[in-house]
Amino acid sequence: MVRVGVPSDAGDDLLAFFPKEAEIIRLDPKEKSEVAVDFWVAPIRPRDMAAVSARIHGVKVVQSLWAGVDALLPFVPAGAKLYDAQGVHDIPVAEWIVTGIFAALKYLPFYVRMQERGHWEKQPSAEPSYQPGYRGDPPQAPPVVPEELAGKVVLIVGYGAIGRAVEERLTPFGVSFLRLGRSSRNGVEPAERLDDLLPQADIVLLLVPLTEDTKGLIDAARLSKMKRGALLVNAARGPVVNTDALVEALHWGRVRAVVDVTDPEPLPDGHPLWSAPNVLITPHIGGASARFMERAFRLAADQVRRYIAGEPLANLVENGY
């Protein structure tokens, strides 16, 4: 039998995915007694990760339920191999990205605020930072002119499973793609070409993991390399973008932004990013889905089956990403 440690709040319906050869051990973060497990399905919350990691031993495999593992890295026992949940978030994150892009291009945040004010505004009332694409007769022209996605160039920074899912969904709208990865491969440019590609993109999509190399990846210098009015979409981690530089670029009308992650996070009340122009903020919900737990536990159960059968496991995390 393989001893599989799982979050104590996992429902029986989720645990039913695991093979009968697995001895399921519920790990309550409130308990203090030590317990031996071979395969640890780590909890979702960092505070629970810390509590549980302090009482388990004998761990050979750690399976994350998230694709991102930066929060889990400090709690991986020595000698254990870490595997992420790449693929679990592809659909919801890709759908969030597409939604965010369309919301920004059609200026929905502006029109939602107009609706909240309950006033049908004319073009002159538009905020200068929105930079309408044309000036028509004020009574007929919209306050700010929506853009078309067709013909846009999308730069995917951190091209992987989610990037491919986004590409599949955006391709029918007539866009073209630039792809950036850690290293060069067919159709994907190496990381060192970021500065060359930024000026070519209308939309810059961030999907990189948070590492020492990617922290502050998008700073003031790189924001200045983007096309004026280009859209920055951060579906990665907050610290990948320098927040102060982003706020300044937004106020100057250099870029627009859609972000699901921030630095700091949660974003404090009254933070300047909240009131910056041309930014749409969601509270780290891009990967949320009513089907998330089912997908995550199916993946974990399949990993346990591979482990029992002596097969290679999927999604090995090396060097922190």
Two tokens, residue 282:
């969601």
- Confidence at residue 133, expressed as pLDDT on a 0 to 100 scale: 44
Residue 220 clears pLDDT 50, i.e. is over it: yes
Paired residues of 204 in beta bridges: 155, 232
- Active-site option among 271, 284, 298, 306: 284
Quote the CA–CA distance of 300 and 296 in Å, as a whole number: 6
- Confidence at residue 19, expressed as pLDDT on a 0 to 100 scale: 97
- Active-site option among 3, 179, 222, 237: 237
Quote the CA–CA distance of 283 and 85 in Å, as a whole number: 21
167 classed as catalytic? no
182 classed as catalytic? no
- Confidence at residue 190, expressed as pLDDT on a 0 to 100 scale: 96
Quote the CA–CA distance of 284 and 248 in Å, as a whole number: 22
Type and span of the H or E element at 5: strand 2-7
The angle subtended at Cα 102 by Cα 101 and Cα 108, nearest 5°, is 110
The tens digit of pLDDT for each residue in 192-208 reads: 999 999 999 999 999 99
Per-residue pLDDT band at 303 (split at 50, 70, 90): very high
The tens digit of pLDDT for each residue in 39-61 reads: 999 999 999 999 999 999 999 99
Domains and CATH numbers, the chain: 2-88+291-309 (3.40.50.720), 90-106+147-281 (3.40.50.720)
Kind of pairing between the strands at 230-234 and 203-206: parallel
- Active-site option among 169, 265, 271, 294: 265
Can you tell me the mean pLDDT for 119-135? 54
119 classed as catalytic? no
Query: Which residue type, as a one-letter code, is found at position 258?
Result: V
- Confidence at residue 318, expressed as pLDDT on a 0 to 100 scale: 85
